[in-house]
Chain A
């Protein structure tokens, strides 16, 4: 089963989900121009687990935001399947996010006034073919904490709720910006476990930003970003399970 998976992942003939070409992002702050991305070219494939690595300020979040339709590039094109999302309007991007993308943020961004279940329901209520919130929470092993408010959960538990919230709508892509950044090793593993099982069981294309090179070992491919460009892409022949990681 696992062998097969690796075989499939290595197949470069598989469908391209994202095709980013010459993506440039310039932030203008008064007089100063900040070049967050300077012509990044990258492809993401169906069902793969990609880790984005790079020094702070290199443009990782910017790239992820553009892929997720949170932001638009200053120049360059981004295609999602057959759609050009780099030139899409606000309305189309909202629809795109609503129906295709699951986000996980570094700081969880749970709604503090809603319970775990309700935080997930917030997303499933507007999705086309969602899981039940209970199912999604069971997936991240939080079935017994469904009715707790964020303030009653630990950081790791909150982030797992965020994972459940992101996957509950069965998104085509899952984009995670430093999902373990605020967590300790053991808790981080639990969150990665949840991501890995979603990727494996649902075949969701998953991109994870991290500063932690160790995490790269659980990816199919590792995209290195430096100074707003793609520096290199490593392909792992075998994916480690999160439990096997150490840092």
Chain B
């Protein structure tokens, strides 16, 4: 037997099912966001961890120019080194069938016998290469070109062209993200990673008995900085390029930044969602309890205790939030699995590991229930504190008064129904304010979602149209004299060529350091430029370096400090340079210098490492073909391809999350608006029925109720925009990472789209309420007293 009080609960819930469902939907949205995001992140981290440990991802990476194999003895002898393995890593230019422009690749040696000690390969299809000119190719590259084992590419290795045949398609923990050195955007079509047997590659690159790359793992408890310092000492005579910990290994660094960004989204957004849900429950509960005042008083008159009454309404809240929580957890688990699948493919993990920590939905439910109870606590308390004597007398008629509009003498302007709307609003300003606040919070979530999407697009557009206005960038194999520019300018279709220099260096400030390239930007650059936050070209100072603000933060350096540059090419000098400016750029950690100033710093003259070029579209293919056959050209990057890839990367990363945000914000908006409408309907159906009895038409009573709703919704729109502005501002910082940063720019578009969604939700709710008003059973309503 269900106790009568619980039956009342279930029947009340059933009667309010529309509203209860709307609230449950809001809660479900928050929980689904929470469970799917955190479940996906958990799975990603787990997949990453499993992958790294199963395939023996190294702890420390170091490159050098050329070291004899015997040096490995010294490296293995470093205290704290567990396993060390030497490799040959060789950059090549590729002639890929079907691609006009040259692509670049990385050839990595694979032991002649057995498996590599570290950084093992996962073989997707095919067999590992055995003979000469056979390679295993990265899956990303093969997918981009639809290559299968048996296909081949032509590579320019050490000045000699060789046709390499793919025998296997593989994945490597080192290239979860395949990024060309210094790049921030994967370009799977123009960048490939390949593995070749050690003696084959050594033969092709003249590296017999030598290596130019070493990776190692640490013994448990070993000091990473200490091992790296010793490794640097060992490799220094052989042109060591500086050891890099796993944390900063390009692919891993990028992957972790991505996951961090997703994590921050996953933590921030669901919290806002749940807060809105809790707020909403509070509004609904306080109104429900207000309508049940006399019932509560009667219960207490019969001897129900305060606690019984409080528990009764708390159960109501819990039931709604648990229904929402369960729906949300189920949807979240389902979406989390889908998201994990998307990311697994995107990051080229060999296997999908989806794990839903059973505690996660439980925690989500607990948070929801807690938040809901917290939200409803005030009203539940109020119900429990209601004096029982209230049951004995009917509720005092509400006190209305003439509204401000009427008091200031505009009364004849207003017709009676309009006056009723205004008086209702003025009589219960708190109720009206809460409704407005609820709707505007939902609207604010939309503004945040659309705002961030807008910011992502802003970054992509600025990158395409303001920062990178070139069509292609050509990088030379070695830095060359400025005169190389003439060769480029003479090529077909070249309209404008702008030199740049990129100097790989270790940037050091006190104990912190990062590897980065110093970008030498030519003065008066018109193609590839550094800009300030208003996208105005920034004139780089005559002396000193300009750093990405994010890089300065990483190094703990500020403007005016002296930065140490340990140059990793040529004579490998160490230089001091003053930080002259900080730049708010969007992608990666960058250092910029005036090209002349950089050359002066390097004590060189007129050295460039490539050029940005604008191209006549008609001669494009011709130019690319010629570049392919130009021996000093190491690689060509196409702006459009970079932008497309950036867009794709964004789409695969934060835009998925933002899309979900916007979708759920839409659900919430509808839930909130519909709720506001339904509560007014249930509170006022008696009054409206009386008006119908007095002879008012359906249209007239609809006007009274819906007019009120319209005013609330309209008032909520600007407030929502304002709240959204502040919410976006407050959460933006948490979303920025070392790899990708959004500037705070809110477009009118975000506001107007968000406003439109709110208005549409208002209109749909109005239509539903209007249909209910049309079916208002006058006798029924007037007979029962609620």
A121 x B298 contact (CB < 8 A): no
- Chain A residue nearest to B393 (CB atoms) is A61
Q: Kindly identify which residue among B4, B300, B784 contacts A122, using a CB–CB cutoff of 8 Å.
A: B4
Interface pair A109/B294, CB less than 8 Å apart: yes
Contact indicator B7/A105 (Cβ below 8 Å): no
Given contacts A123-B303, A177-B392, 19 further A-B contacts (CB under 8 A): A61-B393, A65-B389, A91-B305, A94-B300, A94-B305, A96-B303, A105-B392, A109-B295, A109-B391, A111-B8, A112-B784, A113-B7, A113-B8, A113-B12, A118-B8, A119-B4, A125-B4, A151-B783, A151-B784
A-contacting residues of B (Cβ < 8 Å)? 3-5, 7-8, 11-12, 15, 294-295, 297-306, 308, 387-389, 391-394, 780, 783-786
Asked if A99 CB lies within 8 Å of chain B CBs, one says: yes
| Contact residues of A between 107 and 165, Cβ < 8 Å to B | 107, 109, 111-114, 118-119, 121-123, 125-126, 150-151, 165
Can you give 16 A-B contacts (C-beta < 8 A)?
A65-B389, A70-B301, A70-B388, A90-B306, A94-B303, A103-B302, A105-B298, A105-B301, A109-B297, A111-B8, A112-B786, A113-B11, A118-B7, A122-B4, A122-B302, A123-B303
Give the complex CA separation of A69 and B677 in angstroms.
39
* Total chain A interface residues with beta-carbon distance under 8 A: 35
Q: Does A41 contact B (CB under 8 A)?
A: no
Expressed in whole angstroms, the minimum distance between the Cβ of A59 and any Cβ of chain B is 13
Chain A residue with minimal CB distance to B295?
Answer: A111
Residues of A within 8 A of B298 (CB): 103, 105, 109, 111
B782 CB to nearest chain A CB (Å): 10
Residues of A within 8 A of B388 (CB): 70, 97
Which of B295, B298, B308 gathers most chain A CB within 10 Å?
B298
By the criterion CB–CB under 8 Å, are A70 and B387 in contact? yes
Question: Are A123's CB and B295's CB within 8 A?
Answer: no
Nearest 9 pairs between A and B by C-beta? A98-B303, A113-B11, A122-B4, A109-B298, A121-B4, A97-B303, A151-B784, A70-B389, A118-B4
Instruction: Write the nearest CB–CB distance from A153 to chain B, whole angstroms.
Output: 9
A91 to B12, CA, bound (A): 28
Residues of A within 8 A of B294 (CB): 107, 109
Decide if A39 is an interface residue (CB 8 Å cutoff). Answer: no
| Shortest beta-carbon distance from A34 to chain B in Å | 14
In the complex, A126 Cα to B4 Cα: how many Å? Answer: 10
- Assess the B302–A123 pair: CB atoms within 8 A: yes
A84 CB–B CB distance under 8 Å: no
Of all chain A residues, the one with the shortest Cβ separation from B783 is A151
Is A43 interfacial (CB 8 A cutoff)? no
Q: Which residues of B sit under 8 angstroms from A234, Cβ to Cβ?
A: none
Per-residue B-contact encoding for A86-102, CB less than 8 Å = 1, 0 else: 00001100111111010
State the CA gap A150–B780 with chains docked (Å). 11
Q: How far is the CB of A144 from chain B (nearest CB, A)?
A: 20
Contacts of A64 in B (CB 8 A): 392
CB-based contact A107/B394 at 8 Å? yes
A207 CA / B302 CA spacing, docked (Å): 16
Q: How far is the CB of A145 from chain B (nearest CB, A)?
A: 15
Which B residues are in CB contact (< 8 Å) with A123? 302-303
Q: List the A side residues contacting B780 at CB < 8 Å.
A: 151
Asked if A103 meets B389 with Cβ closer than 8 Å, knowing A90-B306, A114-B11, A125-B4, the reply is: no
CB atoms of B301 and A68 under 8 A apart: yes
| A71 interfacial by beta-carbon distance below 8 Å | yes
Q: Which residues of A contact B297 (CB under 8 A)?
A: 109
| Contact among B301, B387, B393 with A103 in the assembled complex (CB-CB below 8 Å) | B301
User: Are B391 and A105 interface neighbours, CB within 8 A?
Assistant: yes
Closest CB in chain A relative to B309 CB, distance in Å: 10
Q: Are the CB atoms of A65 and B392 closer together than 8 Å?
A: yes
**How close is A209's CB to chain B, nearest CB, in angstroms?**
10
**Pairwise interchain contact A114-B7, C-beta atoms closer than 8 A:** yes
Q: In the assembly, what is the distance between CA of A112 and CA of B15, in Å?
A: 11
Interface centre among B12, B298, B299, B392 (most CB of A within 10 A): B392
* Contact yes or no, B301 A107, CB < 8 A: no
Chain A residues in 8 Å Cβ range of B5: 122, 125
Interfacial chain A residues near B8, Cβ < 8 Å: 111, 113-114, 118, 122
Q: Separation in Å of the A107 CB from the closest CB of chain B?
A: 6
Contact B3 A95 (CB under 8 A): no
Distance in Å: Cβ of A92 to nearest Cβ of chain B: 11
For residue A125, which residues in chain B have a CB less than 8 angstroms away from its CB?
Answer: 3-5
Chain B residues lying within 8 Å of A126, measured Cβ to Cβ, are 302-304, 308
Give Cα A105–Cα B785 distance, bound, in whole angstroms: 14
The answer for the CA separation of A95 and B392 in the assembled complex, in Å, is 19
In the complex, the chain B residue whose C-beta lies closest to that of A117 is B4
Nearest A residue to B781 via CB reads A151
**A94 CB contacts on chain B under 8 angstroms:** 300, 303-306
